């Protein structure tokens, strides 16, 4: 396989290409708040070994697009969540759709388009599936379809509920148009979603994932959606548990070509 860092428009991307055969599809993987496209290089390489063009991207204000250190951005998000996070979420959803356009064209790909991510990256992946019908499977870890995150607390401080503040005009527009929970009609198609949530996660509460699944289980054209609860796991544990990530990725791309799940470095 080969890896390549470049830009698609304004978006820095990291590609891992399968060696010796055409890719059987595209996987776009999005990191959490404070992460960058290199964070999951080993996982992208594993996806390429399994026959996929694997693409990591820098979300807005992250990686090569950062306008401040990651810890300073994290503090800003926790201080003014809606004003800071919603533009990152919504803007990166739109960026990811453009990356898919470009990657499919550059490599002449057909086949599956899959998306996933951790925490903020998972939020983005789920929203991406709502606006891009090419996405047929989504795996999101410690993520939510509800951008308002009711009852959100600080990480590691379950009694400290965050004052999320007011959204900017642009951020509110993005939430109004892209948030999955308020646009469930977009998910009523041939689509499979897996949401891994921590039962003790009060930073990204899993309740919204269950609410989303219940809403989509009613009415016509029901997608396949599974919410996997992890008893005792809080947000930090969910984001850093290699077994959770391995299971989510294995579900996303299906069995390895040998018929066995390939080993992945943590």
Q: pTM here?
A: 0.94
Counting residues of the chain whose pLDDT is more than 90, the rounded percentage is 90
**pLDDT at residue 3, as a whole number:** 74
18-52 per-position pLDDT tens digit: 988 889 999 999 999 999 999 999 999 999 999 99
Instruction: State which H helix or E strand residue 77 sits in.
Output: helix 70-79
Confidence at 4, pLDDT banded by 50, 70, 90: confident
Confidence at 150, pLDDT banded by 50, 70, 90: very high
pLDDT at 255 exceeding the cut of 90: no
Q: Which residues contact 109 (CB under 8 A, 6 or more apart)?
A: 22, 23, 25, 26, 53, 103
**pLDDT at residue 1, as a whole number:** 55
Smallest Cα–Cα separation from 120: which of 93, 153, 83? 93
Distances (CA, A) of 112 to 47, 130, 148: 13, 16, 31
Smallest Cα–Cα separation from 25: which of 47, 1, 46? 47
What is the distance between the alpha carbons of residues 186 and 131, in angstroms, rounded to a whole number?
7
**pLDDT at residue 257, as a whole number:** 42
Q: Are 152 and 200 in contact (CB under 8 A)?
A: no
Q: What is the mean pLDDT of residues 53-82?
A: 97
Instruction: Give residue 204's region: left, alpha or beta (phi > 0; psi -120 to 50).
Output: beta
**pLDDT at residue 211, as a whole number:** 97
Q: What is the mean pLDDT of residues 68-92?
A: 98
pLDDT at 264 exceeding the cut of 60: no
pLDDT at 232 exceeding the cut of 80: yes
The whole-chain average pLDDT of the chain stands at 93
Which carries the bigger pLDDT value, residue 219 or residue 189?
189
**pLDDT at residue 42, as a whole number:** 96
What is the distance between the alpha carbons of residues 78 and 80, in angstroms, rounded to a whole number?
6
Instruction: State which H helix or E strand residue 175 sits in.
Output: helix 169-178
pLDDT at 2 exceeding the cut of 80: no
**pLDDT at residue 220, as a whole number:** 87
Q: What is the mean pLDDT of residues 162-175?
A: 98
């Amino acid at each position: 396989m080969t890896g390549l860092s470049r830009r698609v428009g304004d978006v820095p991307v990291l590609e891992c290409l399968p060696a010796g055969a055409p890719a059987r599809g595209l996987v776009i993987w999005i990191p959490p708040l404070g992460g960058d496209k290199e964070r999951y290089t080993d996982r992208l390489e594993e996806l390429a070994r399994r026959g996929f063009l694997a693409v990591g991207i820098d979300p807005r204000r992250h990686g090569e697009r950062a306008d401040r250190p990651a810890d300073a951005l994290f503090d800003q998000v926790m201080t003014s969540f809606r004003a800071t996070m919603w533009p990152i979420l919504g803007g990166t959803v739109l960026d990811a759709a453009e990356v898919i356009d470009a990657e499919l064209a550059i490599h002449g790909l057909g086949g599956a388009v899959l998306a996933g991510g951790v925490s903020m990256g998972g939020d983005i992946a789920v929203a991406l599936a709502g606006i891009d019908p090419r996405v047929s499977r989504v795996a999101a870890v410690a993520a939510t379809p509800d951008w308002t995150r009711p009852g959100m607390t600080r990480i590691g401080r379950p009694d400290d509920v965050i004052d999320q503040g007011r959204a900017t005009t642009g951020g509110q527009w993005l939430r109004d148009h892209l948030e999955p929970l308020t646009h469930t009609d977009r998910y009523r198609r041939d689509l499979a979603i897996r949401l891994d949530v921590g039962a003790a996660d009060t930073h990204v509460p899993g309740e919204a994932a269950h609410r989303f699944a219940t809403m989509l289980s009613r009415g016509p054209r029901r997608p396949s959606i599974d919410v996997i609860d992890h008893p005792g796991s809080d947000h930090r544990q969910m984001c850093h548990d290699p077994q959770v990530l391995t299971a989510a990725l294995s579900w996303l791309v299906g069995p390895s070509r040998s018929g066995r799940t390939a080993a992945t470095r943590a």
